[in-house]
Amino acid sequence: MVEKKHIVTAFDEDLTTLNDMMARMGALAETQLFASTEALIARNPSGLDDIIKRDKELDDLEALLNEKVIEIIALRAPRAEDLRRVIVALKVASTLERIGDLAKNIAKRNKVILGTTVKTQMLPSIRTMTSMVLKMLNKTLDAYVEVDAVTALDVMEADIEVDKLNTVVFQSLIEEMSSDQEQLKIGPHLLFVTKNIERIGDHITGIAEQIYFLHHGEMPDKTRPKADQSSSIALS
Amino acid sequence: MKRDGDMTLSTPKIKSSGIIVEYDGKRALHGIDLDIYPNEVTALIGPSGCGKSTFLRCINRMNDVIDNCKVSGRLMIDDTDVYDPEIDVVELRARVGMVFQKPNPFPKSIYDNVAYGPRIHGLTENKDDMDRIVKKSLKRAGLWDEVRERLDDKALGLSGGQQQRLCIARAIAVNPEILLMDEPCSALDPIATSIIEELINELRERFTIVIVTHSMQQAARVSQKTGYFHLGNIIEYGETNDIFTRPKNEQTEAYISGRIG
Ligand SMILES: Nc1ncnc2c1ncn2[C@@H]1O[C@H](COP(=O)(O)OP(=O)(O)OP(=O)(O)O)[C@@H](O)[C@H]1O
Ligand SMILES: [Mg+2]
């Protein structure tokens, strides 16, 4: 990141405001994801409606951030890394909003799952996947502020593990369903829950790529292998 | 200086090698190496006092008229060595026109302002030919329609933007190859500025244009190449698009993004 301050101090204040808004969005997205899977693990649906309602906060924050970006472009005519920063802010905010949507969807499905008495063996794996993804998100949000492209690359790497685990969980859920009719009440929802977590990992990777771009002025090499094989799995 | 591969496509129109300028023995330029390409607009940017105008004046030897100023190094326009003692400076200035920050029409008629250059350079004796040159130049400067009915009016009665276009018409009337512009829009309002910028864009088909500007937006809008000057050195030179999106040099980045350098 360019360390020097702008001559127009209000410009620095604008960029700080932008970072603060992003930090709030990031923290909220984290909380939403954490709370929605914790409810499932703890078999406690009481907080799920709140999660579903709070998603609107993320939408509102994104709208505010968009306005701020438009204002900065109009008033400050940012250039070079400054320009990348505001454009990247737009994209990252939109991605965080999408992560929020997926967390909300997880909450909705968990309501249905917890409305039954059927239990799955996959809770520990789902919890592991969630914490992997949360760790990625946390690192990414820090890397965003620091424009730390090295950490961004780590995050992209970490997503491969999430994809691998998702493939395993997908396989296991299919097996659960095929061995026990009762599981069909929750299995399809669980597939979506895990798929959503995996998608969130992809979105975080997208943010990490933006951080890399912010730093280097170009996108990272797109040759990383895709480790999520679930789309080619069939019941054997 | 090293240039990117894609910049070597055509031969430079202007080639500055190790140009050093001193005022009273104090260096204002420390050895400028710069290739300027034909039919392009090259913008020179940089903080006040970094030597942009000094460099521009080297190209048509306007520094000659400044007593305390000494130029050394080599400056070529095509195959002409500009600082060859044999060179006819009047002829050189016909090849290299200049437009200044403040519109400076002569206190004469609109017509006479444009006809002035062709007259002193003896381009024509013939009234019809002269009429044609004046009309063509005013047309190219985008001023013809506004002044065709009042060519005998005083030039100083025109608006600032019109005066500046008149100065451009005057500069191009002698059919130069190169047009130097030193902050040509700094005294103009945004509309007049846009008109001049559009004009610059049209003129580059015929002329090699070097423009000094303090407006980053203007440099970004009108030029294909940008050079960043700092304390008498050229710090970075390249495609305008690269300079304003991904400058390689930290000093350039700091300057174009308005940071304390
Ligand atoms: N006639 C002169 N006599 C003495 N010093 C001069 C003269 N003209 C310019 N200088 C010095 O040479 C240096 C470069 O000046 P120059 O006018 O080329 O800068 P510039 O980049 O065009 O600045 P600006 O953006 O303010 O027009 C400055 O330090 C200036 O003080
Ligand atoms: Mg100057």
CB contact under 8 A, B257 and A8: no
Place of tokens 């969130």: A200
Answer yes or no: is the C-beta of B51 below 6 A from any ligand 1 atom: yes
Q: Which of A33-42, B5-14, B84-93 has the lowest mean pLDDT?
A: B5-14
pLDDT band at B35 (very low <50, low <70, confident <90, very high): very high
Nearest to B253 by CA among B14, B41, B242, B187: B242
Those residues of chain A whose CB sits closer than 8 Å to some CB in chain B are 2, 4-8, 11, 77-83, 217
Give yes or no for residue B3 having a pLDDT over 50. Answer: no
Q: In a mutational test of the pocket of ligand 1, which residue from B30, B45, B52 has the highest number of ligand atoms less than 8 Å from its CB?
A: B52
Query: Hey, how many other C-beta atoms are within 10 angstroms of the C-beta on B248?
Result: 13
pLDDT 10s digits, B195-251 = 899 999 999 999 999 999 999 999 999 999 999 999 999 999 999 999 999 999 999
Give yes or no for residue B184 having a pLDDT over 60. Answer: yes
Q: In a mutational test of the pocket of ligand 1, which residue from B50, B70, B181 has the highest number of ligand atoms less than 8 Å from its CB?
A: B50
* pLDDT for residue A231: 78
pLDDT 10s digits, B97-127 = 999 999 999 999 999 999 999 999 888 889 9
- Ligand 2 centroid to B69 CA: how many Å? 15
* pLDDT for residue B4: 47
* pLDDT for residue B10: 81
Listed as ranges, residues in chain A with pLDDT below 50 are none
pLDDT band at B62 (very low <50, low <70, confident <90, very high): very high
Please name the residue of chain A whose CA is at the shortest distance from the CA of residue B245. Answer: A80
Please name the residue of chain B whose CA is at the shortest distance from the CA of residue A82. Answer: B257
Taken in order A166, A171, A174, A180, the sign of the CA dihedral is negative
- Ligand 1 centroid to B184 CA: how many Å? 17
Answer yes or no: is the C-beta of B48 below 6 A from any ligand 1 atom: yes
Q: Please, what are the domains in chain B? A: 5-256 (3.40.50.300)
* pLDDT for residue B9: 62
Answer yes or no: is the C-beta of B53 below 6 A from any ligand 1 atom: yes
Instruction: Quote the CA–CA distance of B74 and B31 in Å, as a whole number.
Output: 10
CB contact under 8 A, B256 and A5: no
Answer yes or no: is the C-beta of B87 below 6 A from any ligand 1 atom: no
> Which helix (H) or strand (E) is B180 found in, with range?
strand B178-182
* pLDDT for residue B125: 86
Please enumerate in sequence order all residues whose Cβ is within 8 A of that of A35, keeping only pairs 6 or more positions apart, or say none: A47, A50, A51, A107
ipTM of model: 0.73
pLDDT band at B2 (very low <50, low <70, confident <90, very high): very low
Residue B223 has φ and ψ, to the nearest 5°, of -105, 160
Alpha-carbon distance values, A88 to A46, A131, A151 (Å): 36, 26, 17
Q: In chain A, how long is the greatest CA-to-CA distance? A: 68
**B17, B75 in Cβ contact below 8 A?**
yes
- Residues of chain A found within 8 Å of residue B260, distances taken between Cβ atoms: 4-7
Residue A167 has φ and ψ, to the nearest 5°, of -60, -45
* pLDDT for residue B192: 84
What's the CA dihedral at A77, A78, A84, A87 to 10 degrees? -40
Residue A162 has φ and ψ, to the nearest 5°, of -60, -45
Q: Are strands B69-77 and B14-23 parallel, antiparallel or unpaired?
A: antiparallel
Among protein residues, the one whose CA lies closest to atom 26 of ligand 1: B48
* pLDDT for residue B43: 98
Percent of chain B with pLDDT over 90: 85
* pLDDT for residue A2: 53
Nearest to B40 by CA among B176, B172, B210, B229: B210
Give yes or no for residue B47 having a pLDDT over 50. Answer: yes
* pLDDT for residue A85: 94
Residue B21 has φ and ψ, to the nearest 5°, of -125, 135
User: In a 10 Å sphere around its CB, with 0-12 CB exposed, 13-18 middle and 19+ buried, how is residue B224 labelled?
Assistant: middle
pLDDT 10s digits, B146-163 = 999 999 999 999 999 999
Please enumerate in sequence order all residues whose Cβ is within 8 A of that of A232, keeping only pairs 6 or more positions apart, or say none: none
Give yes or no for residue B1 having a pLDDT over 50. Answer: no
pLDDT 10s digits, B122-136 = 888 899 999 999 999
Structure tokens at B109: 């008629």
